[in-house]
A and B are shown apart, each in its own frame.
Chain A
Amino acid sequence: SQTIHQWPATLVQPVGSPLSLECTVEGTSNPNLYWYRQAAGRGLQLLFYSVGIGQISSEVPQNLSASRPQDRQFILSSKKLLLSDSGFYLCACSRAENSPLHFGNGTRLTVT
């Protein structure tokens, strides 16, 4: 079965600082990978998805970027954080486009 590792679990960063969140997947090859953000209202917003190495699609234009340097590694980055970037960031993967998503345990980011 698939296992998704995310770190760190909690992060507090000042406004204007850079960000790098990493996600790695075990138990599957060539997965589809996703970054979601969950705000206080509980809804999940899709930020980026990737169907292969180096292939990134953005769903929402914003202060963030994503990269997939290896098959089972997905990175979320920012050059300069904004207060509005605070939230709960979740990495997810699926084996195929009609498969359910499996989520990691997320990173809670607070921008101060």
Chain B
Amino acid sequence: QKEVEQDPGPLSVPEGAIVSLNCTYSNSAFQYFMWYRQYSRKGPELLMYTYSSGNKEDGRFTAQVDKSSKYISLFIRDSQPSDSATYLCACLYAGGTSYGKLTFGQGTILTVHP
């Protein structure tokens, strides 16, 4: 079993739709959770960084963490064609021998149609 599981999709939605992207994780030591967006042939770009359970909002993006269920989500409101990309979730635990190493999900390919 992978430590971080993410549905690879692909996911295709019309412009303006609400998008829900999800990951589950198995390591209860994970404390920090991130979402990255990656356009084709580019490096991943950090979208959201959260620590505690609950919601964090930034513009059209909302990250949600439920540590009791080991479930993390990213919601995109009013989706735009420019949101078409691969979205990667990542988990991190600090301390010990972690050295800041992230564990990534496989990524979900999202296409938003005009």
Contact = CB atoms under 8 A, between A and B. Distances in A.
B100 A94 contact: yes
A41 interface: yes
Contact of A43 (B49, B95, B104): B104
B46 to A, nearest CB: 5
Contacts, number: 67
Interface residues of B, number: 28
A41 to B, nearest CB: 7
Contacts of B106: 41-43
A84 interface: no
Contact of B34 (A4, A51, A100): A100
Nearest to B44: A103
A104 B43 contact: yes
B107 A105 contact: no
Given A44-B88, A102-B46, A106-B42, A51 B104 contact: no
A108 B41 CA distance: 8
A84 to B, nearest CB: 19
B62 to A, nearest CB: 17
B100 A105 contact: no
The 5 tightest CB contacts between A and B, nearest first, are A103-B43, A98-B94, A97-B100, A42-B107, A44-B104
